[in-house]
Chains A and B, each alone.
Chain A
């Protein structure tokens, strides 16, 4: 077995990953918070007001990164679910299930901030156009996955069943993304492009991209924290968890 495979297997071992996630998680949170504050300063203070939407457009700096994260979290969850179902890797099961609540949180924020942005701009809190409806359906899919995971007693079987559901729901992701192109929607089309120039002012773009990075880091911080809990739950009877449980008890009493 070569060094890379060995390293890969070591990382997958629960106590090792628990330790790594333990110090990596806070760094993700810290860095995410820092970049987020810088990005929000750029977005709220430095960027000029939009000529059409005035200061209301500043919701973009939280709405769009959260929308991107809702989709990214689903993609991450589905990829891990696929690995978990095909290769039965424990860590992938836990990573998949840990991404669901975070993705649901980002999707929820997207819907609420979108509604708060839509009221002054479009005159309505909600409309049943393709983008909003498919985003709402995405939230339902997340809730269904979380619900199914919590409904089954055996954690590993629960993760496999919920992971399977996540794969079935993958079909919604391209619908959410391309809905603004495929249908006539109230929601505006995409302005930020991965390849080629974006149709947005530079002073508004850099805070947006910084916020995207910050939310990614927050996602990974939350994911690692939840994965730690999942590993403890799964390996509850093992020695390494017992040591941690007793040490935690000594720390809180001593």
Chain B
């Protein structure tokens, strides 16, 4: 099987999974006890127009199958992108938030998304770099003191609940030492033009959450790297490199480290779920205005459309990430047979 057929096969599989997300998302609120219509309706403060529009869009007074068709129609909606290239982009209608009166769910979530991507993108990159370096060092000094202390520290970090790690960082650095802000991503308001002062302010606010996440995330890449490297270091080509008289650092980072690429790629796909949604804990503790905290707030406010919209958004991201990781595998390792 060639790469193209493989890609098609994975694509079909990903699409099937996407359909499952769609079906789960549709039926869950309707299967649960209670009035499903009430779950879609904004509170009493909403205007008649919004009520009417929701009834029309989602057909809440229609039979279930009509609702399902309407639901699919709402999901597969495209909006033309203005500009030189008028490409239609997907803009699913996910309903209206209860809490943020009459704001579409998609708008609510897209507003939070950049904050989450910034926070997790940074922490993720840092954790991979730090984790791989630490893991490589541990593998090189296998069985030594450095190795044992690295292993036990990452084991301990992985046993911690992340929200507790975040709480301790907050308690020590914000409350006891008063070095960092206690909540939020910036000192309001957001200026009209982005200034250096604002960027500095955001960086200051993001220091603790980024450190917390990096500490928490770096354990897995460190373990992965260590195990792969220990295997790789016994391979004949490393022996050859040693015989050629290459320096230890060169062997470690130029020859053995290449093997780590594959597991790291598949690990990053798993992490994608975390990047978009799993940040619920960190974002909640640090009051970071991202998607994760929005899920938590939506639960507190019983804002069902937002919870479901977030589930949809995260599901789609995870499926896409897995698909991309599967394909990337083929490019990165010529030995992979599909």
Report whether chain A binds chain B. Answer: no
Interface residues of A (CB under 8 A from B): none
Binding site for A on B (CB under 8 A): none
